[in-house]
Structure 1
Amino acid sequence: MNNNADERLDRLFAAARDARMDTSALEEHFETRVMARLRERRAEGLPWYALIWRMVPVFAVLVVLIAVYSASYRPAPSGDLFAAISSGQEDYVAGNVLTGE
């Protein structure tokens, strides 16, 4: 019985391999359907993330401009090692001496 079932399955699989699907209904007016779908998507408008991707070159140019400016403009370094922590101290001390506080 097992041998008979295997033969039937082999014949069924062979018949399935030999049978060709009829795709003519799917092929009919394929280009028209594709163009209609494209037209529908264009009518929807651009999503917000597509606009962000279009702005990437503008942001890249801004970054390059800032990098060039920061590389070319270098203020003269101070010789005073304590300038960063004592800047503005002289005005504060002078103001306290003159006002008597």
Structure 2
Amino acid sequence: MEFIYPCKNGNESWNGSINVLSESIPYEFEVNARGSNFHLLVGKHAYGNYLCIPNWGIGTELSHLSDQFWNTERLKSEYPELSNPDVISIVNALDVMQHGQFDDSSGGH
């Protein structure tokens, strides 16, 4: 399943696409936005949620998938090599997946 989602950063906006690869934990999907491609693995552990992006060497904890502020700050502080549009694209995709597909109500910060 693939669908388009909106991203916004200040006055700038763009569309990204999400291709769902697995709807079971760990959730797996590809995100494409503004020329960047991210292979996301999202799952749960005893203390919350996590995000791995193997094709970028990224692995970190997440809050709830819809917590854009916390997840944005986490990615920016832990992975400063990510551009701001890339972070926004990833975090907005997580939020869309939370509201459209997956339930992370059992964990997060």
TM-score, length basis structure 2:
0.17
- Which structure has more helix as a fraction of its residues? 1
TM-score, length basis structure 1:
0.18
Higher-RCO chain (CA-CA 8 Å, sequence separation at least 6): 2
Q: Which has the larger radius of gyration?
A: 1
- Which structure has more strand as a fraction of its residues? 2
